[in-house]
Chains A and B, each alone.
Chain A
Amino acid sequence: MAEQVLMPKQGNTVESCIIVEWNVNVGDTVAVGDILLSAETDKSTIDVESTASGVVLARLYEEGDDVPVMEPILVVGEAGETFEVEKKEEVKTASAPVVEEVVAPPPPVQPVVSSSASGASPRARMLSEQLGVPLTAATPTGPKGRIVEHDVLALAGEPLSPAAKKVALAEGILPPATGSGMGGRVLARDVEAPVTSGDLSAYTDIPVRGVRKVIARRMVESLQTTSQLSLHAWADARALKSLRAAFKADEETAGITIGDLVNFAVIHALKEFPAFNSHYLGETIRLFDHVHLGVATDTPKGLMVPVLHGADLMSLRQISEHTKILAKRARDGVAQPDELSGSTFSVSNVGAFGIEAFTPVLNIPEVAILGVGTIALKPISTSTGVEFIDHIGLSLTMDHQAVDGADAARFLRFLMDTIANLDSLLIRMGSNGTL
């Protein structure tokens, strides 16, 4: 009896996932726990595991499809089995579900050449051999999902050398439309590896997918749909430095960093300025009762923003510990979608690189983001002359749709004062604040 594998639920906020890459083909044998595909949510990429064992009879969605969660994505059963699938089109289509009968292909002889060859017309198969276009690369447009001559012809480019043809067919690789040989002939090396260029014009193309694609989409969306303005300031960092030095001496608090102290001050400031702890939703501005602080984190897969939920209810030490745990999970690629969503204000700290100021990009629909820079000595005029005092760089980007420049200036001024007087704030809050 054929079984269906569903697109798993990814936390409470994810409604659908885009399939980035399938790891299994029709005809492959899978076991429970095998990684079937990688998919991306609007925050990160995830691996989807199989919940059934057997032979893959059908893949119901292809790479690039946006699949609602809890929707069937794969049919697994015994080779040759007949089954029915009820496949909904994408979320947006409200029309009646399409029911199609599919006859599963017999078990493949060679695992490399997909068994979809049996779903091809004889003319398509002949043309595939002639042109060196593998049938596995063709998109079937014939009746009952059969590959017809036209589907193969659609993929044909410049002629392939005999050696290139052999590689393309044996490995099931779609040859490029033009190759590096005479008159654009496709040679074996063009099929085996992308065409490389000579000295000066050499380059490498990396496909934009996964987290990179998510970041790219979100960044452009942010800049296209908001009215961003950045303010830069320096805050007296003497309190930060002396607090850090004091905490460092005690094993219990040694993990509390300058970044944690700044985040603590930000959370405090957000409680005073609720307009900055909000989402701009077009028709409404949603002010949040609690602070959910996004902490921009550099990971091997790219920028991720784990979220400290209910940060305003945490002590300094809790903020420090949770930030560390969340950042590690993001770097290790195990953060759950819920850990990466729901922030109401974000902080991006590049102080470690010696950056003074920058213009952070809003993490929409948030209305503001704080960039934290390096600590540097600034000449300050005092009653006794000029003193060099440690200052920390602060860059606040805000959405002018939701708040005004003067509001942002007031918020930043308050934050500067909070940072400058963080030691007295902590004393005022007593052990509630610190521990």
Chain B
Amino acid sequence: MAHYDLIIIGSGPGGYIAAQRAGNLGKSVLLIEKDHLGGVCTNKGCIPTKSLLNSAKTYEHAKNGAFIGVETTDITFNVKTAMAHKQETVETLRGGIEFLMKSAQVETIFGEARALDAHHVEVNGTTYECSYLIVATGSSPVIPPIPGAELPHVVTSDEILELTELPSSLVIIGGGVIGLEFASFFSMIGVQVTIIEMLDEILPMAEAEAAKLARRAMKNVTFNLGSTVTKITPTSVFYTTNKGEEKEIAAPMVLMSVGRKPNLSGLEALGLAVKRGAVVVDEQLRTSLPTVYAIGDVNGKSLLAHSASRMADVAVSTIFGSGQKMRYNAIPWVVYSNPEIAGCGLTEAEAVKQGIPVIAHSAQGRQSGRFLAEQGKRAPGLVKVIAHKESGVILGIHLLGPYSSEIIWGVSAILEAELRIQDLKEIVFPHPSVAELIKDVVFALDSSV
């Protein structure tokens, strides 16, 4: 029986990073994937949606460029070409991961994995043995038990990425990150989009101000907040508003994006401790079995690709190296909608809820020279800084507007270093840049020098 130092089930941004790290340490590694290398992120998530959103944003900017002197006629959006570019991107990246696995001397096999015990995994009828096992099986879209949810025109993020023709209109159930990105994409290319969200605001992890501005900026999307879907028929979606009104909306296509659930299939024999449908792990990603680790969506701690990759580093360092620990307070998140929304750390509301004495301040995008020059004075933009009232430690920074996705990593560094208002004042930002607004807000919080 083939023996490996490490077997990894799942090759998403958790699994393949773990494989690469362990392989580069000279360990024998077997990576098992049931579909394509790269998992949901590369094939059905982060990457394809970024490709499509960029196509749509370029189209949108071209259409609306007259105010800065760009005039176009006969501009069209070719969904087939956009999909083809997306596919090419995905396949190139897949090839890239394949190359990375080869250079790290990671063995890769394709098939459904079934863990027999903590040290044995069966794939395609063959049993492989390992000293350590990392479970990185990811998550799948949740289909809530709504009557009609099983109808063929009700799709998830998996299927909607394979569209070849656009629907005339789209109803999206769920106003989280996935729902919002697809709403942004489809509304930019002319599809009439309606979001039905159970909560009173979209994006629960975002600053309320930012969520509200984002909603207003997405003019071609209808938002029905505080509403619960009761039934789906082949032509309509029925929902109840928080005032108790029964409503119906025509829906030739419905996107279900209410959340994701950990993939536990194939792990049954391990008998891992599971809480709320997710594998229980400690701060070093150890499960209830000491040689079995669970990273990424499957442990339900933070359902983000980059969280999974960080968990991979922590798990591999715990098994073979220095034994790092997971920290969740400085993980950034991004919605690549138009406009982009990003955040890292606590919102003001969360901080208050935790009983932390806070000071917070925000600035509008147009206060930045670069923002004004490029977006004009009507475009929505926001920078909000939340800090501890007594120590001045930065607790969170939230952004709305272009470049937010590329600025937010700096906030991770600020939070990881536990910088305070007075420390941030000493950091030099490039001028002109949108990021400069962070410094302006910091001085607005405390004008002393």
Contact = CB atoms under 8 A, between A and B. Distances in A.
Nearest to A167: B391
21 contacts: A161-B417, A161-B419, A162-B418, A163-B392, A163-B418, A167-B391, A180-B325, A182-B417, A188-B391, A188-B393, A198-B281, A198-B282, A198-B325, A199-B280, A199-B281, A200-B280, A200-B281, A200-B286, A200-B288, A201-B282, A201-B286
B326 interface: yes
Nearest to B273: A200
A198 B283 CA distance: 5
B423 interface: yes
Interface in A121-180: 161-164, 166-167, 180
A180 B423 contact: no
A201 B284 contact: yes
A164 B388 CA distance: 13
Interface string B181-217: 0000000000000000000000000000000000000
A163 B416 CA distance: 12
Contacts of A20: none
A433 interface: no
A162 B288 CA distance: 37
Contact of A163 (B280, B325, B391): B391
Contact of B283 (A162, A188, A201): A201
A220 B34 CA distance: 57
Interface in A165-221: 166-167, 180-182, 185, 187-188, 197-202
Interface string B280-299: 11111011100000000000
3 A-B pairs closest in CB distance: A198-B283, A161-B418, A200-B282
Q: Is the interface of A mostly helix, strand, loop or mixed?
A: loop
A96 to B, nearest CB: 52
Contacts of A197: 282-283
Nearest to B290: A200
Interface range on chain A: under 10, 10 to 19, 20 to 34, or 35 or more? 10 to 19
Contact of A180 (B288, B327, B391, B417): B327
A395 B215 CA distance: 77
A177 to B, nearest CB: 15
A188 B325 CA distance: 17
A181 B284 contact: no
Contacts of A202: 282
A247 to B, nearest CB: 54
B420 interface: yes
A185 B392 CA distance: 18
B287 to A, nearest CB: 8
Q: Is the interface of B mostly helix, strand, loop or mixed?
A: loop
A167 B283 CA distance: 25
Contacts of A199: 280-283
Contact of B420 (A163, A180, A185): A163
B81 to A, nearest CB: 43
A164 B423 CA distance: 13
Contacts of A162: 418-420, 422-423
Interface of A: 161-164, 166-167, 180-182, 185, 187-188, 197-202
Contacts of B422: 162
Interface in B385-424: 391-393, 416-420, 422-423
Nearest to A182: B416
B418 A187 contact: yes
Nearest to B413: A182
A162 B418 CA distance: 7
Nearest to A159: B417
Interface in B351-391: 391
A283 to B, nearest CB: 51
Given A188-B393, A198-B326, 11 more contacts: A161-B417, A161-B419, A180-B327, A182-B416, A182-B417, A185-B417, A198-B284, A200-B280, A201-B282, A201-B283, A201-B286
Contacts of B287: 200
Nearest to A189: B418
B330 to A, nearest CB: 9
- Residue of B280, B284, B418 with most partner-chain A CB within 10 A: B418
A182 B286 CA distance: 19
Given A163-B391, A166-B391, A181 B418 contact: yes
Given A199-B280, A200-B280, A200-B281, A188 B418 contact: yes
A27 to B, nearest CB: 26
A195 to B, nearest CB: 9
A219 to B, nearest CB: 31
B412 to A, nearest CB: 10
Contacts of B282: 197-202
A200 B286 CA distance: 8
A167 B326 CA distance: 24
A159 B275 CA distance: 37
Nearest to B282: A200
A271 to B, nearest CB: 58
Interface string B318-343: 00000001110000000000000000
A341 B339 CA distance: 79
Contacts of A181: 327, 416-418
Interface string B415-437: 01111101100000000000000
